[in-house]
Amino acid sequence: MSKKRKNDGTGVGRRDIIKAGLVAGSALVITSKKSVAAQWGGGGGGSWSGGWGSYHYTDYRSDRSVQSPPTTPFVESLLIPPVLQSLSSLSPPATELQAPGETPRPAHQRWSEFLPQKLYALHANEFQWSFHRELPGTATVWGYNGISPGPTIKAKYGEPSVVRIFNDLPVSHVGFGIPSIITHLHNGHTATESDGFPADFYATGLFKDHHYVNTLAGGDTHEALGMLWYHDHRVDFTSQNVYRGLAGFYLLFDSVDSDNENDTNPSALRLPSGAYDVPLIFTDKLFDSSGQLNFDQFNNDGFLGDRFAVNGKIQPTFKVARRKYRFRMLDGGPSRFYEFYLSNGQNFTQISNDGNLLPAPLSVQSVRLSVAERKDVIIDFSGIPIGTSVYLENRLVQTDGQGPSSYSSQTDAMPVLRFDVDRDPPVSDASRVPATLRALPSANLAEVVATRYWTFDQQNGQWVVNNRLFDYNRVDAQVKKGTAEKWVIRNGSRRWSHPIHIHFEEYQILTRNGVAPSAQERARKDVLELHPNEEVVVFIRFRDFTGRFVMHCHNTVHEDHAMMVRWDIVP
């Protein structure tokens, strides 16, 4: 049964507010296209002297009507989200059909084929969180199991799981965000009833069982996924709920990428593992004078903060040993793009794109991330003297929701994380980076049965796809299970950049503006950085499940303002 749009008892829906008062709302914030020079410590012009020298900070946020209180960089330690432990049972038991107390849902597809071997529980709740010790107070945030980002789930192929997600958010919530949720496993090859369809949100007091089959798309070993993440996907409120903290990592392993650098299996890659495999989610935040998170609900262009957080801490430090580390880098949004460099000029070894292993590692000077993109990199600290600090710095200038505008020089870069080399490893580094990683699956154009065109654009101040606002009751495309298609994805704007995410199935880029993709983009992708006035052609298959899925801009502010389409897989 289709659902009608509702406001969950909170009064007028947010989109209705925007439509009714778009002009007045836009006047609430004074904007400028110029970047404002500011001391990172909080306001005015100036420079900051760090461990590797002095630099001038350019504040890459045009809105200066609200400014965060001052914070000193590199006094907080990086937090590593704990690994979520499985449970022996759930009460009531998870079943193919809806359980007592569960929000309504269809029966799980292929349940008997993928009976769960692992059971987990996540509680979406509200709590106080310290982003930085110098902020005036703790911030009221949302997260899972009392932390933000939430605990990391480590899963294995061949071990289907059920993740029961409880909505424990307060009904009496005041401020931005809405206490109804639906969790999306981003890049999961997951049936529609567990994917996190935006309209499947549920209220406080209910839970939902997500059946994650952890199986290869089409049974193809070349399709193994690596770094996924889970986040709220509530229609109209994704940007606000995720900005409040509803996100976490989900890592998948198999016999090749086995989570064991000492693996004796000849097929194992033996990439850095354990304490040397570190997930990093980058978010930018804005705080009011009391230290609470600030979010402009009347800005439909894109929201930028003036404080850079990594795993929920502002500009933290991370102590590293002289050996190789694997860093799983994720742009958690809501609207900022990044281009990361190492301050000592050292290259990264990039091993994945969107968290999925490349055919071969690449030595790259920088790592670029649009919102929701992931890239795994290896950083080798073995040649760096103990006592040395190396900074991970963003050199991509962005002043508003349009997207990145330019690069800055090294002296204008913003360091977001400091690595302190403080020891030799207790044992010799057994990890390696092989010359080959995971071959790409075939992209056989003879399988293509249709070509579809999708144009992401702005119309009358609203974000649209093919000149239409999102309506989750409208099906914009029906694709047949077991087929392949070419999708032509266009940006109708000469000014805006859009990170485009397709649910459920990955794709391969065939051409970008008629040219074959770069080595970094010869990969399996689920997020596409769509530059202004650009056209990208992708090859995509549809396998294993049927149901409702979406494609949308992952600048989540654009997504919430209707830059999304529904497409269905049919038998």
Enumerate the domain spans of the chain: 445-570
Four-point Cα dihedral 471, 472, 477, 480, nearest 10: -170
In the DSSP assignment, the letter for residue 238 is H
pLDDT tens for the chain, 571 residues: list them: 333 333 333 333 444 433 333 322 222 222 222 222 232 333 322 233 333 333 333 344 444 578 999 999 999 999 999 999 999 999 999 999 999 999 999 999 999 999 999 999 999 999 999 999 999 999 999 999 999 999 999 999 999 999 999 999 999 998 999 999 999 999 999 999 999 999 999 999 999 999 999 999 999 999 999 999 999 999 999 999 999 999 999 999 999 999 999 999 999 999 999 999 999 999 999 999 999 999 999 999 999 999 999 999 999 999 999 999 999 999 999 999 999 999 999 999 999 999 999 999 999 999 999 999 999 999 999 999 999 999 999 999 999 999 998 655 555 689 999 999 999 999 999 999 999 999 999 999 999 999 999 999 999 989 999 999 999 999 999 999 999 999 999 999 989 999 999 999 999 999 999 999 999 999 999 999 999 999 999 999 999 999 999 999 999 999 999 999 999 999 9
- Domain 445-570, CATH 2.60.40.420 — does that match? yes
Please, what is the end-to-end C-alpha distance for the chain in angstroms?
A: 18
Rounded distance between C-alpha atoms, residue 561 and residue 296, angstroms: 14
Q: How far is CA 69 from CA 41, 44, 128, 292, in A?
A: 8, 12, 18, 10
Rounded distance between C-alpha atoms, residue 505 and residue 514, angstroms: 23
- Alpha-helical segments (H) within 427-567: 556-560
Buried b (16+ CB within 10 A) or exposed e, 495-508: ebbbbbbbbbbbbb
Classify strands 277-285 and 307-310 as parallel, antiparallel or unpaired.
antiparallel
